[in-house]
Structure 1
């Protein structure tokens, strides 16, 4: 039986028949209604809104969790931004840095994150033994979000705390003020608080001049602040402070003050008040003995005031250099007796009254001028009102409530009125620079600007006469120990007895020396004040000529070359003869 392969072929006839059937059916047209489009669009909108809400919920939850976990961190960051606000560098006139910012770490805690407050307090107390452990434990056991533990910690302390690995303990990087010179310029620079805000001196002046507003507005950035330049010459400042320290040790004095002033511009080139403080240790500034005696302290300046009385008398035209006054006997005024310390007991010319520092002769010149003229003259010199400079610290003068004849006499030789040393220096400069009072400043100032700010207080001839008298006093009078070979120095001593329990004590003095150089055409004024000096050796007096004058000479000897003042080879005897001839 034969079998063919055709018997096994599939029968696909039914498929062909089906396709023909379907193909023969009439097609139905596709119909889309407007309502279906609208429903589709709304479905898309709802889907997008649902997804948007979902993402919003998720984002809100993440923010909530972040705030719950790090809300205090954010507040900490905000606080850190405030306290870490940068300050501009402060530089001297030569660009030497006097104050700058450095980065330090501060330690904080988040008590709600502390796992074991007892352990954390114990571990931290090992790093900071000054912590009150029990109080710290109580603070860390609270549910507070943020707590400062210690500001401005050392790198070693930061490392040790970091190695403890305590949860809830962290660090904030802050700007901290650093003073490379330590106490050298402390009373001028002032200080900042723990938040890097100026609280004294030039630091406070900077804040008051707009830095605080910039910080609040967020414009004071690390790299956007120009340095603040001062008129201070760091070399001069160091020399002044160094010589004052030497003088305090040499004469076992209580305090000392030194000022170097440019008489043509009013710039303070150097100013030191000892004892001073290290602004890197602000707590030292709280010591009452470390106040800025140069601007805050007001004192009876003693016979340095005879410089002003003599200038007043000469400028008035009522007294001339060749006039004489009887100083042969004490002067009786309102029941009080005025004596000379080393009286000559004879009539004295005006130059002799000055170089012998005669109280009697000076008092009689003041009486010749009268009280109204004296008040007006001292007022023109800025000695009756508080002196305002960039430094916020200033002392107001102490003057008589009622300016009597006795007051006029005692004020003429520096008793009965108290002023600051910087006031005295500024007034003295006006008598040396041709007769112009220029307000002192701690910022750079050129001579043109100084001229615009100045006011004439004495005639040029009076200024010239006063320079001659100052030079004569160094050559022949009480200021001989202020002489510096090669530099023509002029000056006036002042020895003022201090008031103790309402009475003048003859064993406690405040000595001063007011000087200028080169005296022919002065450029710089130097004022030195030494508080309660003792004799250098037993048997020697402790007057200004014995301590304040030689200290001034030591300062001038050091700073004159720094300031570009060239020495002159002059014969002291020839110089004396020339000076006397010029006066006569």
Structure 2
């Protein structure tokens, strides 16, 4: 015992149970306490693990609950990011284009259990699916296949209820155009991947958005809206009146533009037939061309405004000069006559208001071929127009200018240019002589002045405003009198161009135009309307521009002037008339 005490100090020898080998009562008690502590620790660890697990699960549920249904309907592919686009607004903040959320259907063929069954189930919700094509996709060994882009919420819900393994939904964005076709040729449209492929939508991509999307750097967040120069109210009026003109005159097409002469802003531009950008496949139809900027035409007698301005600005012709407009001009095997010739000597104002081909040709001949070509180039009528809209055509002109070319071009035959370029050049005649490239984005007068190029003298601009006013004044015999609008002092010039059919000009097939400006004493806007192949209005035997394009311009000005901030002015004692909208 004494030896045991020395070996185990602090412990006292006790009696053993029979056999002498098991622990004593105190050792049993210590062992039990140790085991209880160990069990308690294990319980605490288990509870903590479950707590952390359920906390993470609850956190994810809260996170998903705060997200949109489209986002949480499935797990999106990490290498396919949402393509967001900025809203497009008109100058007053009205939405022209915006993104809406949608989902697209995809499959992971390597997870499909039964391709035949999956196709049959999908057909119950999407009966128009290409069954063979879908079966081929589902039977492939690939890891990803698109099945249908941009589903409706109802379709998504029905497919989810089918519970097909390997089928999922990809949240995406879809472009929506609240105004439908109202401004389709300007706003443009996007493709199935929400990338701009026409109009200002394509321009926005060209400013860097497209590059970011191609690099996979687009993000699912709101971008700063892009404001356009369009006024949606004016745009609606313009399109509405063009549609009415097409119907009234049984024309194959009509187009028009409203342009600010001080800034170059396009406030309204339309070309009919147009299309609904919400269904962009319509844009592929051959008659859906944007005739204002992407089509080139011989503009007929509207070019006489430029020929007259050229003659006056050259200093070789004065407003008081006269030219012989009797008979005809025979040159190069062609005979040039006046449509309604006066068969006498005409002054410069008379040549303009009577739209004399002979008188205009004689003024161009006085300036000369090189001077004529240089002047039209200076006005931007012979070169490709620079603006944001991608759809811009290159004008055509003779490879070599001869005297016959200069003479016919003087009254609008032999050069084909876009109607928008014609309006831009006309704005320079009205605003004091400054050529300002057009824009579809807001621009101040100060910004425009920095870009402006003087192309004619201010005195020439004064003379052209006088002639345009004279031509649209009732009682003067001018061809534009039907464009007159009480209180708004409209000036303008008609253009009735014969179209080429089978290589020859056909006098019964016309491309009509009316080029106007108002208020003509101090112009703020140019309005140009073109009507393609109009027929005589019921009860009339003719279909010249003065009978269809001119009254259409008058209707546009009457309805839109108030939106443009142009106040009517009437003579003393004259009762003011209300505007018609």
Residue 105 of structure 1 is matched in structure 2 by: 103
Within a 5 Å distance, the mapping from 1:432-447 to structure 2 comes to: 432-447=430-445
Residue 78 of structure 2 is matched in structure 1 by: 78
Within a 5 Å distance, the mapping from 1:204-243 to structure 2 comes to: 204-216=202-214, 220-223=218-221, 225-243=223-241
C-alpha displacement at 1:219, in angstroms? 5.3
| C-alpha contact (below 8 Å) 1:102/1:175 kept by paired residues | yes
C-alpha displacement at 1:16, in angstroms? 4.3
Identify if the C-alpha distance between structure 1 residues 110 and 320 changes in structure 2 by more than 3 Å, giving closer, same or farther: same
C-alpha displacement at 1:506, in angstroms? 1.2
Describe the superposition over 1:40-63 as per-residue Cα deviations: whole angstroms up to 9, x where unpaired.
xxxxxxxxxxxxxxxxxxxxxxxx
Deviates more, 1:389-398 or 1:138-147: 138-147
d(CA) in 2 for partners of 1:461 and 1:567?
Answer: 26
d(CA) in 2 for partners of 1:329 and 1:206?
Answer: 55
Residue 467 of structure 1 is matched in structure 2 by: 465
d(CA) in 1 for partners of 2:4 and 2:384?
Answer: 119
C-alpha displacement at 1:191, in angstroms? 1.2
Asked if residue 481 in structure 1 is aligned to residue 482 in structure 2, the reply is yes
d(CA) in 1 for partners of 2:131 and 2:3?
Answer: 100
SS at match of 2:561: helix
SS at match of 1:428: helix
Q: TM-score, normalised by structure 2?
A: 0.85
d(CA) in 2 for partners of 1:543 and 1:502?
Answer: 22
Residue 378 of structure 2 is matched in structure 1 by: 380
C-alpha displacement at 1:485, in angstroms? 0.6
Describe the superposition over 1:111-168 as per-residue Cα deviations: whole angstroms up to 9, x where unpaired.
1211221121122123222222233223212222111001111122212212221111
C-alpha displacement at 1:215, in angstroms? 3.1
| C-alpha contact (below 8 Å) 1:76/1:146 kept by paired residues | no
d(CA) in 2 for partners of 1:20 and 1:380?
Answer: 122
| C-alpha contact (below 8 Å) 1:247/1:551 kept by paired residues | yes
Identify if the C-alpha distance between structure 1 residues 564 and 189 changes in structure 2 by more than 3 Å, giving closer, same or farther: same
Identify if the C-alpha distance between structure 1 residues 220 and 137 changes in structure 2 by more than 3 Å, giving closer, same or farther: closer
d(CA) in 2 for partners of 1:162 and 1:566?
Answer: 59
SS at match of 1:536: coil
Describe the superposition over 1:324-373 as per-residue Cα deviations: whole angstroms up to 9, x where unpaired.
11111111112211010001111111111000100000000000100111
Asked if residue 562 in structure 1 is aligned to residue 563 in structure 2, the reply is yes
Identify if the C-alpha distance between structure 1 residues 17 and 291 changes in structure 2 by more than 3 Å, giving closer, same or farther: closer
Asked if residue 522 in structure 1 is aligned to residue 523 in structure 2, the reply is yes
Identify if the C-alpha distance between structure 1 residues 117 and 224 changes in structure 2 by more than 3 Å, giving closer, same or farther: closer
Q: How many residues align?
A: 508
d(CA) in 1 for partners of 2:402 and 2:242?
Answer: 37
d(CA) in 1 for partners of 2:331 and 2:364?
Answer: 13
Residue 498 of structure 1 is matched in structure 2 by: 499
Describe the superposition over 1:56-94 as per-residue Cα deviations: whole angstroms up to 9, x where unpaired.
xxxxxxxxxxxxxxxxx999613531xx21111111111
| C-alpha contact (below 8 Å) 2:308/2:363 kept by paired residues | yes
Residue 28 of structure 2 is matched in structure 1 by: none
Residue 403 of structure 2 is matched in structure 1 by: 405
d(CA) in 2 for partners of 1:75 and 1:17?
Answer: 76
Residue 255 of structure 2 is matched in structure 1 by: 257
C-alpha displacement at 1:570, in angstroms? 3.3
* Structure 2 unpaired stretches of 5+: 10-72, 575-581
C-alpha displacement at 1:21, in angstroms? 8.6
C-alpha displacement at 1:546, in angstroms? 0.3
| C-alpha contact (below 8 Å) 2:298/2:417 kept by paired residues | yes
C-alpha displacement at 1:223, in angstroms? 3.5
Structure with the higher fraction of residues in helix conformation: 1
SS at match of 2:208: helix
Asked if residue 91 in structure 1 is aligned to residue 92 in structure 2, the reply is no
| C-alpha contact (below 8 Å) 2:74/2:168 kept by paired residues | no
C-alpha displacement at 1:454, in angstroms? 0.5
SS at match of 1:364: helix
Q: TM-score, normalised by structure 1?
A: 0.84
C-alpha displacement at 1:571, in angstroms? 8.5
d(CA) in 1 for partners of 2:471 and 2:284?
Answer: 40
Identify if the C-alpha distance between structure 1 residues 164 and 140 changes in structure 2 by more than 3 Å, giving closer, same or farther: same
Asked if residue 548 in structure 1 is aligned to residue 549 in structure 2, the reply is yes
Within a 5 Å distance, the mapping from 1:355-370 to structure 2 comes to: 355-370=353-368
C-alpha displacement at 1:413, in angstroms? 0.3
d(CA) in 2 for partners of 1:478 and 1:199?
Answer: 41
Residue 199 of structure 1 is matched in structure 2 by: 197
SS at match of 1:288: coil
Select the residue among 19, 36, 60 that pairs with 2:5: 19
Describe the superposition over 1:304-342 as per-residue Cα deviations: whole angstroms up to 9, x where unpaired.
000000000011111111111111111111221101000
d(CA) in 2 for partners of 1:446 and 1:129?
Answer: 54
| C-alpha contact (below 8 Å) 1:80/1:173 kept by paired residues | no
d(CA) in 2 for partners of 1:231 and 1:547?
Answer: 28
Identify if the C-alpha distance between structure 1 residues 114 and 17 changes in structure 2 by more than 3 Å, giving closer, same or farther: closer
Residue 50 of structure 1 is matched in structure 2 by: none
RMSD: 1.9
Residue 29 of structure 1 is matched in structure 2 by: none
Within a 5 Å distance, the mapping from 1:419-438 to structure 2 comes to: 419-438=417-436
d(CA) in 1 for partners of 2:171 and 2:480?
Answer: 56
SS at match of 1:242: helix
C-alpha displacement at 1:218, in angstroms? 5.7
Asked if residue 169 in structure 1 is aligned to residue 167 in structure 2, the reply is yes
Residue 334 of structure 2 is matched in structure 1 by: 336
d(CA) in 2 for partners of 1:494 and 1:339?
Answer: 16
C-alpha displacement at 1:239, in angstroms? 0.6
Residue 578 of structure 1 is matched in structure 2 by: none
C-alpha displacement at 1:540, in angstroms? 2.7
Identify if the C-alpha distance between structure 1 residues 510 and 17 changes in structure 2 by more than 3 Å, giving closer, same or farther: closer
SS at match of 2:235: helix
Deviates more, 1:530-539 or 1:550-559: 530-539
Residue 448 of structure 2 is matched in structure 1 by: 450
